[in-house]
Structure 1
Amino acid sequence: MEPENPISTTAISPANFTNESICHDLEAWNWLYTMQPAYMLVICVLGILGNVFVLLVFCLHKKACTVAEIYLGNLAAADLILMFSLPFWAHNVANEFNWHFGPVMCRLVNMGVSMNMYCSIYFLVLVSADRYVALVHALSHGRMRRPWYAKLSCIAVWSLGVLLSIPTLSFRTVQYISQYKVTACFLNYPNRAVELACDILLMLLGFIIPVSVISYCTWKIICALQRQVMDRFNAVNTEKKATLLVLAVLVAFLVCWVPFHLITLLDILLRLKVLHGCLLINVLDICNQIATYLAFSNSVLNPILYVIVGKNFRKKVKELLEQISYRKNKGSGSTRSQTSSTLKTFA
């Protein structure tokens, strides 16, 4: 998923200009130039602060991260990649889609956005699968929930994110488009077949398949929680706390990302001529913008959910603060002891 603009589709690129370009109402895009840059910068600042905070808690805490925390930490890292990409797009939109950072940054920035989408949803697949094993198959498959396996799984997800972002590296280009008098960073597919194939790949590997796995795991998790009688002080209760946080993160992800993928599906149907009409093209253009930035907001929500819903995370924050306070007091106490010893020596 990448931010789009009225001149970024192959239907109106210099190589593939068609009569569909007359459908694009550029007046409808004027609101973008003031509202969206400010919005992107706000979520960028909040997202960087929140996700850096999450990573610091996981990395600096004296106890090793659990499997679920390894996945959630990598999810925070994926969100940070997106946050560092947004200022470039904010500048781009504010300058009416004139790209000032060259072709290399055009590809890298959009690769970061694409990797966030793929990596985020597959980290959620991993964390939902972990909750599924913890609650449904704790005895038979418990050995699978080891930090070493979790780290290998994270490496696999990052590798998949890079692999699925290859179309972005290949087809993103910077080119002056005389029709609109802009130097734009846009997806310039060689033909409609390649464009359609990339969008279908996005739908299948970026949403339908992972969401199907997540939905199955979530259903089994909820059934397991309903069957089990929770005791306040047993190990299952600990798993329940972690599971509630995971379910909250999953719900937030779906709320933020489902609209975007629905718009993508409608856009595919439009290109297949199943749907048609200038009004629909213009509506989808605007809806794509709204859905895209709603999806970006998910990177800000996750750290907030950790604090609100994650009891174990709040406990880690408290323990980390106590750990830091103890080190400071120990250091100052050591300094006072050395000073006192020095004074006695010279007394």
Structure 2
Amino acid sequence: MESTTPDYNYNYTDYDDNVTVEEPCSSDGENLLGGQLSTIYYFMFLFSLFGNGLVLVIIHRFEKLTTVTNILLLNLVVSSLMFMSSLPFVGVYKQLSYWIFGEVMCKIVGSVYYLGLYSSVLFLTLLTFDRHLSVVYSLHASQVRNQRYALLSCAVVWLVSGLACIPQMILHRTFTHNMTNKTFCQEHPSNLTFVDADKLRDSTFYLQLFLFLLFPLIVIVYCYVRIAITVISSKIVTKFKTVRLIFVIVLLFFICWTPFNVVQLIPENGSCDEKKKRGYALQVTRDIAYIYFCISPIFYTFVGKKFQSYFRQLLVKRFPGLKKHISVSQVSRTNMSTKSTQKSIELS
């Protein structure tokens, strides 16, 4: 599977610093497209910084940091910010078509990129599973959903994400090609002397396919189907609105995350035109996936009624003149942990 970093693949048949090789299939077109699209990375970074920062402020001001949902949400925000912090460097790299930040920053940015990306997928999955527990098993979930469960779950996600980064980070490095005399920061295009690069690439392919595509999709779809069934079978007045919201959440995940992974499953071998089409598709679908991870913590937060209320309170406190136009309802901190099934569904 192709690396999820910007891959300036010049399709060299062999790689050697001292050997001049032919360039059978130029990828200048897709690199140009990638450079043009990369301008949105800076906006995504700023939007994510503001939006996720707002989520942190609201959790700190109005919520308890010890609750299960807030612990998971806090970790999702951290992983999202971690991933988004790498995008300005990636944007500069894609626009220049060479790396200017040095070998140390290449390793740091690559590590932050992969760790943030992988952990974001798993934390989104974990949040969905936790929401499923709180709604479908509302009577017994409190015995399981405690602070220890949340901290242990987060530790497992960070551990798994860190281990999943190892193959990518072994291959991810700076190198200079003698044909262009440019420095690249990406997956090394040939075998390495100290490790079997082909096996590492294969392991990365299956890891991303099963752990970061099929597993999250199966868990998210299953959990939201169970939630939808529970909501429909209950006597909640707002059930149809809730089911509609569930459908939107699942649909967004499918639309944004699946195409990028599906394109990566397309074999790289083929004619030059087929390789170029795959390259163009990767540039577009990759950016769509990035947008989802930019907005997902904010989206998961502000679909809840209580967070909308907190946001209105912040606005009114900051801009008193808005009090005439914004309806503000006070939400108590103390009774947040004792919600019925109906409240769990409405505030999730």
Gaps (5+ residues) in structure 2? 192-196, 321-348
Measured on the aligned residues, the alpha-carbon RMSD in Å equals 3.1
User: Shift in Å at residue 247 of structure 1?
Assistant: 6.2
Match of 1:261 in 2: 261
Whole-angstrom CA distance in 1 between matches of 2:249 and 2:210:
21
The percentage of aligned residue pairs carrying the same residue is 25
Change (3 A) 1:226 1:19: farther
Q: Does the CA-based 8 Å contact 2:72-2:154 persist in structure 1?
A: yes
Look up the SS of the partner of 1:55 in the other structure: helix
Please identify which structure carries the higher helix content: 1
Q: Are 1:226 and 2:226 counterparts?
A: no
- Report what 2:217 is aligned to: 211
TM-score, with length taken from structure 2: 0.78
Which whole-Å CA distance do the structure 1 matches of 2:231 and 2:39 have between them? Answer: 42
1:118, distance to aligned residue in structure 2 (A): 1.4
CA distances 1:75-104 after superposition (whole Å, capped 9, x unpaired): 1211101121111111112222x1111222
Partner of 2:169: 169
Looking at structure 2, the residues matched to 253 and 10 of structure 1 have their Cα atoms a distance apart, in angstroms, of 35
Aligned to 1:80: 81
Measure how far apart 1:114 and its partner are: 1.2
Change (3 A) 1:118 1:318: same
Q: Tell me, yes or no, if the aligned pair for 1:129 and 1:214 is still in contact at 8 Å.
A: yes
Are the aligned partners of 1:127 and 1:246 in contact in 2 as well (CA < 8 Å)?
no
In the TM superposition, residue 324 of structure 1 has moved relative to its aligned partner by 8.2
Give 1:61-210 correspondences, 5 Å limit.
61-64=62-65, 66-96=67-97, 98-188=98-188, 190=191, 191-210=197-216
Q: What are the Cα deviations for residues 26-81 of structure 1, in whole angstroms up to 9, with x where unaligned? A: 24433333x23321111111111111111121123254564233322221211101
SS of equivalent residue, structure 1 residue 210: helix
Partner of 1:60: 61
TM normalised by structure 1 equals 0.78
Q: Distance in 1 between matches of 2:278 and 2:294?
A: 25
- Larger Rg belongs to: 1
4 and 18 in structure 1: CA distance in 2 versus 1, 3 angstrom threshold = farther
Aligned equivalents of 1:284, 1:265: Cα separation in 2: 10
Contact between 1:51 and 1:303, CA under 8 Å: does it hold in 2? Answer: yes
2:38 partner SS: helix
Q: 1:301 deviation in Å?
A: 2.2
Deviation of 1:129 after TM superposition, in Å, equals 1.2
Shift of 1:254: 2.7
Q: How does 1:265-284 map to 2 (within 5 A)?
A: 265-266=265-266, 269-270=267-268, 276-284=270-278
Matched letter for residue 285 of structure 1: G
